[in-house]
Amino acid sequence: MSLNQLTAHETAFRLARGEITAFSVTAACLERIRKVEERLHAFIRVDEEGAMKMAEAVDAKVRRREDPGPLAGVPVALKDNLCVKGREITCGSKILKGFIATYDATVVEKLRSAGAVFLGQTNMDEFAMGSSNENSSYGPVGNPWDAGRVPGGSSGGSAAAVAADEALAALGSDTGGSIRQPAALCGVAGMKPTYGRVSRYGLIAYASSLDQIGPFGKDVEDIALLLDVISGHDPRDSTSDPFPRPPLRECLGREIAGMTFGVPKECFAEGMETEVEKAFRASLEVFRSLGGRVKEIALPHLSYTLACYYILSTAEASSNLARFDGVRYGFRAPGAKDLLEMYEATRGAGFGEEVKRRIMLGTYVLSSGYYEAYYARALKVRRLIKNDFDAAWADACDCILMPTSPTVAFKAGEKTADPLQMYLSDIFTIAVNLAGLPAISIPGGFGAGGLPVGLQIIAPHFEEGKIAQAASAFEKATDFHRQKPRIRDLRKPGSQECFGF
């Protein structure tokens, strides 16, 4: 096994014992990136020199017998909306081209302290707006299982990098499923924590009341390890949870006998692919075989989540993205005769079509005469959605099980002409963000064409421990997370060369 195929927790353990070096693991990941990036395009920029310097610093600590940290030598990829001091950050957008971050995001600070190595910034849908990673101004990302299909979005670059063994772990952001949906389509684990558990300081916002930073990993233990590192109170984030929480790794390996798992009857609605439903129902049988109680529940307002989400998220985006006008950051359109013309030209040329669509929709729902009809009503529906989950917890549910995505990875370009069909890709994930709940997507089987299917596990606020317990038990009983993308899917068109895993 090549070193880039190790999990994050295996790497940290073996490095601390002196069996491997951070230099060698990082070199293996960089070599892998050089081999497959031309086809996958998971990274916007790779910092080889900076990564090797960080790796050498970790090795020096080990030689001095200092504590190198819980993520010592683990090469990590960072989504391009997380600030890294001294590095360009663009959110996948032309309008931020050339912007250099002047500080580290809190999660980046924590990863540094834990001994992680930064490989570079991963590709993403522009300003995190998308479900396929086709909206990036740097071009689309390919899915490692089939490079002609999408990896999901908006954190598709991070998910693809982990699935292709370019990185051992990655960070993404999740506004309506942007960690879980690409994790499902790429066959890796990805978690959206409870809103407030991880500081958003240094995350360039899409929708501030919905955004949450979370990890991608090759298994549940990787997720627990990363989330334990990046969690915690941050006074620079007013929404940060002030209370200490127990480590997730303590919950791994516990039996789930006696736990109750709710399955919403609404998740079997029209639109789910037959093979996805078959894999999901098989997953339910695994939980039953492990002693879990699986029962039907109702989330009666689930059908309203899509409309509610796209009103609230676009309204917040309209406000958050107003700062990008060519005055202070990044790109400025040349040749303007006055300030207003400069604003119009810069935003017209700097933003992509999907971002413009959402800004216009958000401005509309906040405008005079429509605020009460749309925005205020959506806020009320959001409360009803949260109440649905509260009723499930009151009905003795420990966790809720749902598919992550109604389909497997679809072909590139298949849904770009129909925004509504694209938005429906997040139908099973959006409610979690509206309610501020934690949820994970783990590999839950395979669908049409042997493509991965994601299983979503949801828990009450700050009960990530229950998720870790249930997910690790499922993972132990199955081998879906050990399956790797097929060699043929990374073949460059017109070439006989292929890259093995």
- Which member of 79, 192, 415, 466 is catalytic? 79
- Which member of 131, 155, 158, 178 is catalytic? 178
Specify the pairing of strand 212-217 against strand 117-122: unpaired
Alpha-helical (H) ranges within 367-418 are 377-394
- Amino acid, single-letter form, for residue 434: L
- Which member of 93, 132, 137, 154 is catalytic? 154
- Token digits of residue 144: 């490692």
Per-residue b or e along 210-243, where b marks 16 or more CB atoms closer than 10 Å to that residue's CB = bbbbbbbbbbbbbbbbbbbbbbbebeebeebbee
- Token digits of residue 116: 């992680």
State yes or no: is 79 an active-site residue.
yes
State yes or no: is 178 an active-site residue.
yes
Phi/psi for 189 (5° steps) reads -95, 140
Work out the burial of residue 393: count CB atoms within 10 Å of its CB; fewer than 13 is exposed, 13-18 middle, 19 or more buried. middle
State yes or no: is 154 an active-site residue.
yes
Nearest 5°: the CA angle 280, 284, 290 is 145
Are 115 and 60 within 8 A, CB to CB? Answer: no
Q: Within a 13 Å sphere around the CA of 81, how many CA atoms are in the beta-carbon half?
A: 32
Phi/psi for 458 (5° steps) reads -115, 145
Gap between the Cα atoms of 390 and 67, Å rounded: 43
Are 398 and 466 within 8 A, CB to CB? Answer: yes
Catalytic residues, which ones?
79, 154, 178
